[in-house]
């Protein structure tokens, strides 16, 4: 089981086991996600949104959990198709 | 220094611009190939007006402007530094900014998602690790930034040419004029902001029609603006003869066409016969309270300029911007026969709202896309342009002979300037001369500070200017 599996599994089942390149109807629309939201990205990392340019394409994030310990605490950017799931919502 | 004479078809460029005789071929206003040369020779080389720092007061603020045909972004980055970037993604060229103004963390290309920080760095590339596999260095693919940018008392100027002289050197004797245009009414530097939005509209004429004639064609006013001159659009309404201009207190002066031939700048400027500034004369009869504000501001400014002679209140800064107190006029080339005309209106930043509103209303009815004065001008430029494209029409050169051979200098009162009678075509000849120099030049070394083209209109001669009051 990978971190992508909750959505990936549903998508794979829906398309009859086709290769998974990204969810469509389950896509996470990132444009309005507020700062502080925790999301899971394709690599499996859990990241916190530190700034949202609201362009629908990118998020500024800080890595909270990662299999690569050197990434924890670092700042990064996350592209929309790499955002797999929201794991913690915050109130606006 | 060498001057490269570039040929145009079977005619040299110089054969199209005969300033000694005051004859200029219509080709330079209508020819597509010459227009393309202008974009390269003039608009990638000259200092161009971009905007004003007050348009982008906060980190992340941006406003889209133009340099020649091309869009640029004036942006204040997160470290509070101003930048001017070409509005194009380095990946496939899409505009990365499709708003006129706003505030943003990044400029994200809507095509493939490349994303740029407000300091121009490429910070986001989709699938970067998986698809590029470390083969691309993002630091080499930032937004293209202008070669030089200058914040001149709040006004922002830029050039694509790293060999261009400093902006203040580029302005020459007109640096004081531009500085004062961005002062508030009491003479304080950096004292204005711009009304938002900037007016933008397209007119069917070559950019040089307005660009070369504005502040250099006083002869047109009596005929073209006859109706407006008596239509009472000025702040004073029907009083004061119904003039479109505000009422001014008497002050002894003589108006001249003034230009700096070796730089291309020039305006209709007064030489005052006594130092200081005229006292304020009430004029805003239809706008209660406005005179009170401007009268108080004028007194402060008179105090600042007591004992000083003021020369040059307006100027066409080569190649395409006219700087005046309360209005900035920019003519961007859009195609050989289309100009994108922009109007920006400076207003005292600290003025009360009723003063800002009154000034804005006056400027709107005076100029701009639906202003009465500008409408008069556009009618001429548009149809003069249309009537110059014809095969037969192009056989007949324009006449720029007015005042040729009668220029003079007055180094004591207007150092560095060449003067002519207030109704002349000296400034237009000056711009055409500079145009020729830019079109021929291989680099800035050919055109600054020397003037490789022999003076037109005869040698400027020393002469004592007449005194009028």
Q: What is the pLDDT of residues B340-368, one digit of tens each?
A: 999 999 999 999 999 999 999 999 888 88
Q: Per-residue b/e over B420-437, b at no fewer than 16 CB within 10 Å?
A: bbbbbbbbbbbbbbbbbb
Domain ranges for chain B, please list them.
48-149, 177-462
In tens, the pLDDT along B268-313 reads: 999 988 999 999 999 999 899 999 999 999 999 999 999 998 888 8
* Min Cα separation A87/chain B (Å): 22
Say what the pLDDT of residue B459 is: 39
The ipTM of this complex is 0.72
Nearest CA-CA distance, residue B110 and chain A, Å:
8
For chain A, the domains span 28-88
**Rounded percentage of chain B residues whose pLDDT exceeds 90:** 75
A57 close contact with B: CB closer than 8 A? yes
Is the minimum CB–CB distance between A58 and chain B shorter than 8 Å?
yes
> Which residues on B lie below 8 Å from A53 (Cβ)?
104-106, 108, 115
Contact between residue B354 and residue B362 where contact means Cβ atoms under 8 Å apart:
no
The DSSP bridge pattern shows strands B398-399 and B346-348 to be unpaired
Residues in chain B within 8 Å Cβ distance of A79: 113, 124, 126-127
Token output for A33: 């996600």
Strand ranges for chain A from DSSP E: 38-41, 46-51, 58-65, 75-79, 83-88
Provide the mean pLDDT of chain B: 90
What is the CATH superfamily name and number for domain B48-149?
Answer: Rieske [2Fe-2S] iron-sulphur domain (2.102.10.10)
Partner residues linked to B267 by β-bridges: B258
Q: For residue B112, how many other CB atoms are within 10 A of its CB?
A: 14
CATH class held by domain B177-462: alpha beta
pLDDT tens per residue across span A73-85: 999 999 999 999 9
What's domain A28-88's architecture?
Answer: Roll (2.30)
pLDDT in tens, B362-381: 998 888 888 888 889 999 99
Long-range contacts of A8-17 (CB under 8 A, 24+ apart): A8/A84
**Which chain B residue has the Cα nearest residue A77?**
B124
Q: Write the pLDDT tens digit of every residue in B104-127.
A: 999 999 999 999 999 999 999 999
Q: Which residue has the higher pLDDT, B71 or B221?
A: B71
Q: Which residues of A touch B124 (CB under 8 A)?
A: 57-58, 77, 79
Q: What percent of chain B has pLDDT over 70?
A: 93
- Domains B48-149 and B177-462 equal at CATH topology level: no
């Amino acid at each position: 089981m990978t971190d992508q599996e909750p959505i990936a599994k549903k998508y794979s089942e829906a398309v009859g086991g086709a290769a998974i390149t990204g969810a469509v109807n389950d896509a996470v629309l990132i444009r309005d996600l507020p700062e502080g939201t925790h999301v899971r990205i394709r690599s499996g990392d859990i990241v916190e949104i530190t700034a949202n340019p609201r362009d629908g394409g990118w998020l500024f994030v800080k890595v909270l959990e990662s299999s690569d310990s050197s990434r924890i605490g670092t700042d990064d950017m996350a592209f929309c198709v790499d955002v797999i799931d929201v794991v913690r919502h915050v109130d606006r | 220094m060498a001057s490269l004479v570039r040929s145009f078809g079977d005619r040299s460029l110089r054969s199209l611009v005969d300033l000694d005789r005051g004859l200029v071929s219509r080709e330079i206003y209508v020819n597509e190939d010459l227009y393309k040369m202008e974009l390269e020779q003039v608009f990638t080389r000259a200092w161009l007006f971009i905007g004003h720092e007050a348009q982008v007061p906060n980190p992340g603020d941006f406003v889209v402007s133009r340099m020649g045909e091309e869009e640029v972004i004036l942006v204040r980055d997160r470290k509070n530094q101003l930048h001017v970037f070409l509005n194009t993604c380095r990946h496939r060229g899409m505009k990365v900014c499709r708003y006129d103004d706003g505030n943003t963390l990044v400029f994200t290309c809507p095509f493939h998602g490349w994303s740029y920080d407000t300091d121009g760095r490429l910070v986001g590339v989709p699938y970067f690790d998986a698809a590029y596999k470390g083969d691309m260095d993002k630091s080499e693919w930032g937004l293209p930034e202008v070669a030089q940018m200058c914040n001149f008392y709040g006004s922002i100027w830029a050039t694509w040419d790293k060999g261009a002289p400093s902006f203040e050197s580029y302005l020459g004797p007109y640096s004081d004029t531009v500085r004062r245009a961005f002062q508030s009414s009491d003479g304080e530097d950096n004292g204005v902001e711009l009304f938002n939005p900037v007016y933008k509209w397209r007119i069917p004429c070559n950019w040089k029609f307005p660009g070369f004639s504005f502040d250099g064609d006083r002869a047109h006013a009596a005929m073209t603006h006859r109706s407006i001159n008596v239509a009472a659009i000025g702040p004073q309404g029907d009083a004061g003869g119904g003039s479109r201009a505000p009422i001014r207190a008497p002050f002894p002066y003589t108006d001249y066409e003034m230009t700096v031939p070796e730089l291309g700048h020039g305006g209709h400027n007064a030489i005052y016969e006594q130092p200081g500034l005229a006292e304020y004369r009430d004029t805003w009869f239809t706008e209660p309270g406005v005179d009170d504000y401007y009268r108080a501001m004028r007194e402060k400014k008179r105090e600042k300029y007591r004992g000083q002679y003021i020369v040059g209140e307006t100027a066409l800064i080569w190649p395409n911007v006219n700087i005046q107190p309360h209005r900035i006029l920019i003519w961007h080339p859009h195609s050989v026969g289309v100009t994108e005309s922009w109007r920006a209106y400076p207003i005292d930043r600290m003025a009360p709202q009723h003063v800002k509103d009154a000034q804005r209303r006056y400027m709107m009815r005076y100029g701009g896309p639906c202003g009465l004065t500008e409408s008069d001008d556009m009618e001429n430029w548009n149809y003069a342009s249309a009537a110059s494209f014809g095969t037969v029409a192009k056989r007949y050169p324009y006449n720029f002979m007015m005042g040729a051979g009668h220029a003079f200098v007055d180094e004591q009162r207007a150092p560095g300037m060449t003067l002519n009678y207030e109704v002349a075509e000296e400034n237009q000849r000056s711009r055409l001369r500079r145009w020729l120099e830019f079109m021929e030049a291989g680099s800035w070394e050919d055109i600054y500070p020397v003037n490789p083209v022999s003076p037109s209109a005869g040698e400027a001669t020393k002469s004592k200017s007449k005194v009028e009051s």
